[in-house]
A and B are shown apart, each in its own frame.
Chain A
Amino acid sequence: MFHAEEMSELSLLVPRQDIEAVTKAIAQKGVLHQIDTSYLSRSEDGSAEPWLDRIQEYQGFEQRILLMTGTLQTSEALAEGSDLTATLGSAELRDRILAIEREVMPLVRQLKGLEQRLAELQILQQRLRPLAALDVDLASLRDLSFLHAQVGIIPAANLDRFNSSLLHVPHVIMNLGEEGSGTLVALFGSARDREILDRAANSAYMAPISMPTEYRGTPAAIGRALGEEAEQLRAQKNALDLETARLRDAWGQPLAELLWHARSDLSLMRAAHHFGQVRDVYLVAGWVPTRRLPELVQAVRDLTSGRVEVDIATAEQAGDAASVPTTLGNRGLFKAFQGLVTNYAFPAYNEIDPTPLVAISFVVMFGLMFGDVGHGLVLAAAGWLALSGKVAALKGARGLAPILVAAGASAMVFGFLYGSIFGIEDVLPALWLRPLDDIMSILLATVVLGVGISLVGFAANIANGLRARDWRRVLFDRYGLAGLWFYLGLLGVVFAVATGVALPSGLIPLALIPPLVLLTLGEPLGNLINKRRPLIHEGVGLYLITAFFELFEAFIGYLSNSLSYVRLGAFAVAHGGLMSVFFILAGMMGGPSSLLYWLVVLVGNIFVIGFEGLIVGIQTLRLEYYEFFSKFFTGGGLPYRPLELSDKQTS
């Protein structure tokens, strides 16, 4: 549950005649995360070319099909019962596409021609829009004898500089208004300065607004003419609708099937492009979940009658743990929390997947801060509705729905413990305590919880160090055993001081000094154990100064990390306090018999559920990311993405 699935590195030496069949078989199994070995087949200029021609050919097929499906607006989904077992060679694929093109392309060309002209008209209309208020014949600006005029859009940031660049040249710049991130301006100057003005305008990135010479008159008149032409074109386009529908019915499915074939083959070729090739042999390498390895190897051997050489290495034998992809095997509720973890970083292969820890701690911390039976019920119900997919507005939140249900349920449990329902504190008995009445207890309880979560963080860091055989991390890291020793010692001292317990003399130095020494000498000791030299890189003096400040930072970190969890209690208190404020406001509107009273209570509940719910969610995430993850979670893992037959557009 806490670790990624065990992976093995598979290397196959495949003869050239088998490579396509083997690639297809691997893709059908969908278990191999490919390793790029194309460096083996790179030519002198550093590029791996063998498959590029075929990739380009199939990209061409894909584009030609997409042009037709796009114009006919056919669905890319395959009908039930589509037969996709046949393998189409490139010649057959080309012939089938050609046959459909003969039928469809005349219409496509006609429609594209109309669309292109409409797009041109739209651009002309857009160019004219800023000039709409000008009551000037645009043609007359082109034919001036003594003046030079130019209308255009200049980046707003360049305008002042442009003006000052013409300091010694007679000119006028009229600001005609804002246009996106630019400013619409009209530049006027003497015709004899035309070249200076044009070069200045050009260097200030002024984009001239020009109209084709066939259009004359004021901008408004030209706009009307453009509009009329666009209307005529749209009418012509609508007249082609019947023919489009006929071709869509006739060719929609064949096109979808051809598209599937083209894309599947394309994804195989793209994979093959990354295989290494030496003469007539390909090296296919990748990571496979160890439990799926036998079936893949068997399939490849059966297919090639044993012509393939197989080599298997474990992740440890392969050496570079950073290159091993990670599979996260979380299921059910834990799966929903996986997104919160990967949003921070993707777990590396040899480190703990913190998702289950996050799932549990998130739910507990959220409930602790948001404890209210009624509010929890509303959140859980909203989550359940989103999960059911019955409410269209909540469909976008489907991924978060399980988290919402779990957080709501936790809030309900804590609601019973606090005796609070919709902010009403005198209906339910408090099974544990009422935060508003017992502030110190709840604050202390949350610090204890924080210490507990921190200890889990220490344990996870030590476990990660052991798994990576990083002894420095296990022994001398601030969150390793030395750090744990110091942290527990510190906790003991704080506890003794707070409770007045007298500690035996000598216990405090024993609890604090040895771990401090180990932490200070962590780098040289770690290098000593790992047999690395030099023991200290930056000179003893500089090392000791850095170590001192890092130790100081660690000390502050231990304290602030633990105390940071006080916010759990503070929010629990604030939750109750905020609701009591709304009840006071409601009381000012009249007693419970008044409608206004209940209106204010309702608004208060909505506000607290929405606004405070959001803040509590953010605070919980903050505690997870900054206080918890920072102790052990490095991330930087590679998600496991097996090679599969793809029918998605991959270009």
Chain B
Amino acid sequence: MPWGLPAYITPNVHVRGMLGRMLTAEEWRELDGSRDALGFLLALKQTSYGPQLAEFEAVCPPCELLEARLNANVALRFAHIIDLTPKADQPLVLLLKQLYEVDNLKTVLRGLQVGESAERMKGFLFPLGRASSLDMDALLVARDVPELVLRLQGTPYGDALRHALARFEEERSLFPLEVALDLDYYRRLWRAIQETKGDSRKWAQQLIGTWYDITNIMWALRYRYYYDKSLAEIINYTLPYGYRSNDSVIRGIAAGQEVTPLLRQVWGEAAPPAEVGQPGWLPRLEVALHRYLDKLCRAALTGYPFHLGVILAYLMQKRAETRDLMVLAEAKMSGLRRPAYQDYMVHQFA
């Protein structure tokens, strides 16, 4: 019996079912062709996201609320997938879901910073259910950021935030807290990848590792070109390891070396060119890299099907799909036409 077959028969069948509920090319065209935000909403209600949008009738909700509802759809799929994933690989999938927990924490941090009410913040949180290591209700009653950090002590995020709190209090900026959360999360994710075994490890490295590389490189580029951070700061705000990337690539970016050759070091000819200095070059580059990841995901979904890669590829594609939907929603709300937003979406219209 081929390796992985017994454990991955049922997950594979279910994931195929879920893949069947992702947006089809026809549905994308309908969404793209909608004339305004309301048209977009009505088209989206006809898709598998419909049940989460039932409450909206005549007006498209604001972006944050729409994102929360799309996330509710993702949460449903995640809950199903976690139940299906074989025990040995479950920690990695759970940790992937915790990325949304990190996003939730950032939402709460930002809400507290601007004095948002707990009730309103709650509406924007990703519904994590039992995968959450946090009691969000207990966190939402925090009156300010230091109290939130205090309430997080003893959770997986406690230490990272405690060390960053002094900087927050000095700078009154959430930047150090958010960077600390990201670094801590991605370190744990890297450890989780290393702890997978056999075939699962291969797929985890290939798919999550690539995503990891993209994230790390995009951080370095942002710190270098958007935030004007020093070399040492960029090193400290990024991670030294990756699947095909490595520390020398990050150092190269931090030192201001030409970006395209550095990307080629990582992804060879598949690396998209970096048009440094052109308007919107960084988001476009990020989307181009995610399209490369999307290709890897599609490859994982063909061929021998009984492995962790099928689950990971689906989750990556689902995340990209909701992200694209948000880009499209914002474009429709702003009355933009396809040429203005096409480059910012992973999905490519035929």
Contacts and interface: CB of A to CB of B under 8 A. Distances in A.
Contacts of A550: 10
Interface stretch (B14-22, B92-100, B203-211, B268-276): B14-22
Binding site secondary structure of chain B: helix
A549 to B, nearest CB: 5
Contacts of A539: 20
Contacts of A164: 235, 240, 247
A538 B20 contact: yes
Contacts of B163: 153-155, 181-182, 205, 207
A46 B120 contact: yes
B233 A203 contact: yes
A161 B183 CA distance: 12
A546 B13 contact: yes
Question: Contact residue range for chain A?
Answer: 20 to 34
B166 A169 contact: no
Interface string B1-43: 0000000011001101100100000000000000000000000
Contacts of A203: 229, 232-233, 236-237
A200 B233 contact: yes
A542 B16 contact: yes
B235 A161 contact: yes
B231 interface: yes
A311 B159 CA distance: 53
B160 A200 contact: no
A199 B227 CA distance: 14
Contacts of B236: 158, 161-162, 165, 200, 203-204
Interface string A161-177: 11011101100000000
B20 A181 contact: no
B176 interface: yes
Nearest to B254: A165
Nearest to B255: A168
Contacts of B137: none
A553 interface: yes
Contacts of A158: 183, 236
Contact of A205 (B16, B20, B176): B176
Contacts of B82: none
B240 A161 contact: yes
Interface string A546-585: 1001100100000000000000000000000000000000
A615 interface: no
Given A157-B187, A205-B180, A546 B229 contact: no
A392 interface: no
A47 interface: yes
Nearest to A200: B232
A96 to B, nearest CB: 27
A393 B10 CA distance: 50
Contacts of B9: 549
B344 to A, nearest CB: 29
Contacts of B230: 196, 199-200
A47, A153, A207: which has the most chain B beta carbons within 10 Å? A207
11 contacts: A46-B123, A47-B119, A154-B163, A155-B159, A157-B183, A164-B240, A169-B232, A200-B230, A205-B164, A546-B14, A549-B10
Interface of A: 46-47, 153-155, 157-158, 160-162, 164-166, 168-169, 181-182, 196, 199-200, 202-205, 207, 538-539, 542, 545-546, 549-550, 553
Given A168-B231, A203-B229, 6 more contacts: A47-B120, A155-B159, A161-B240, A165-B231, A199-B232, A546-B13
